[in-house]
A and B are shown apart, each in its own frame.
Chain A
Amino acid sequence: MSIENKIINIISDKLGIDENEVVPDASFINDLGADSLDLVELIMTMEEEFDIEISDDEAEKLVTVNDVITYVNKIA
């Protein structure tokens, strides 16, 4: 599974939404119904899944699905 597909899979699973809804420019909070704790959980899952560390400062900048895909691709 590509990094992108894996990320979409995690987001869909964590937020309980269809993978088709997880489009690149969807905002977690505005479009996908996530709350701030959901975001924290998502980031922690990404860290574990890809064996990376995302600082709080970086995490704040991850607003859309594409932000996460770009970020993880860059450092994983």
Chain B
Amino acid sequence: MSDNKKQTIVVTGGSRGIGRAICLDFASPNTHVYFNYLSSSTSADETRDLIDKAGGSSTAIKVNITSDTEVNDFFRYIKEHTGKIDVLVNNAGITKDGLIVRMKESDWDNVIDTNLKGAFLCSKAALKTMIRQHYGSIINISSLVGVSGNAGQANYVASKAGLIGLTKAIAKEVASRNITVNAVAPGYIDSDMTENLSDKLKAELIKQIPLGRVGTPQEVAHVVRFLASKNSRYITGQVINVNGGIYI
């Protein structure tokens, strides 16, 4: 299958955690996955190797998604190589937790810039192509706490709730072009972002989850892939909770 017949999948923050699982879930002879990373080229290389082993192909590029210039260069590169963008997954996210009265302005700005502004810039760049091709899917990775709130994460919660608003606004804006925009809100998922929680806290959390366990990155990835597939073309502007029933 020649490259232009392959689906072009773009995933931000694909080197680790849920982003890596999403890249791997898309890996197939029929797709080419473009993903960016910011800090760890070693992790990005690992993701690429795993995609290769799964029979797919990928390109990893170091891109700071909070920079308009870098995002535009990233998408220009993709467009030049494939001429189209089928799927964009806005997954890249960071945390800088703290009580609001102790939260530094820079902690607020960094989290909002990466999690929310990054998704805005990437969506804008991808939509320029999707609007003209009259199809596409955007999936934003929000969070349980973006729906429920959480103490100690005002910046992160605001960014993830903001992603839900962004999802709904863009969904309405581009629906007439056969482009769907949805959000996935994972609950407690076994990933880099949650590995630093103490065992005691983890046990406490699990007690609150009706399904009695934390989720896996793959369980999030499967939902993302469904929302990117032709089987979900009548779903747009929605938030799909993947949280073991912790918030119903």
- Which residues of chain A have a CB within 8 Å of any CB of chain B? 35, 37, 40-41, 44-45
Assess whether B174 is in contact with A37, with CB atoms less than 8 Å apart: yes
Taking A37-B173, A41-B131, A44-B128 as given, write out 10 further A-B residue pairs in contact, using a Cβ cutoff of 8 Å, ordered by the A residue number: A35-B176, A37-B131, A37-B174, A37-B176, A37-B177, A40-B131, A41-B132, A44-B131, A44-B132, A45-B132
The number of chain B residues with a CB under 8 A from chain A is 7
Could you count the A-B residue pairs with CB atoms below 8 Å apart for me: how many are there?
A: 13
Nearest-neighbour CB distance to chain B for A26, whole angstroms, equals: 22
B173-212: contact bitstring with A at CB < 8 Å (1 yes, 0 no)? 1101100000000000000000000000000000000000
Bound: A38/B100 CA distance, A: 44
Bound: A6/B174 CA distance, A: 27
Bound: A40/B174 CA distance, A: 12
Nearest-CB residue, chain A, relative to B177 = A37
Nearest-neighbour CB distance to chain A for B133, whole angstroms, equals: 10
Bound: A40/B134 CA distance, A: 13
Nearest-neighbour CB distance to chain B for A34, whole angstroms, equals: 12
Within 8 A of A (CB), among B140-180: 173-174, 176-177
Chain B residues with CB below 8 A from A45, complex form = 132
Chain B residues with CB below 8 A from A40, complex form = 131
Nearest-neighbour CB distance to chain B for A49, whole angstroms, equals: 12
Q: What are 5 A-B residue pairs whose CB atoms fall within 8 Å in the complex?
A: A37-B131, A37-B174, A40-B131, A44-B131, A44-B132
B108-123: contact bitstring with A at CB < 8 Å (1 yes, 0 no)? 0000000000000000
Chain B residues with CB below 8 A from A44, complex form = 128, 131-132
Chain A residues with CB below 8 A from B176, complex form = 35, 37
Chain A residues with CB below 8 A from B173, complex form = 37
Bound: A40/B173 CA distance, A: 12
What are the 8 A-B residue pairs with the smallest beta carbon separation, nearest first?
A: A41-B132, A41-B131, A44-B132, A37-B131, A44-B128, A37-B177, A37-B176, A40-B131
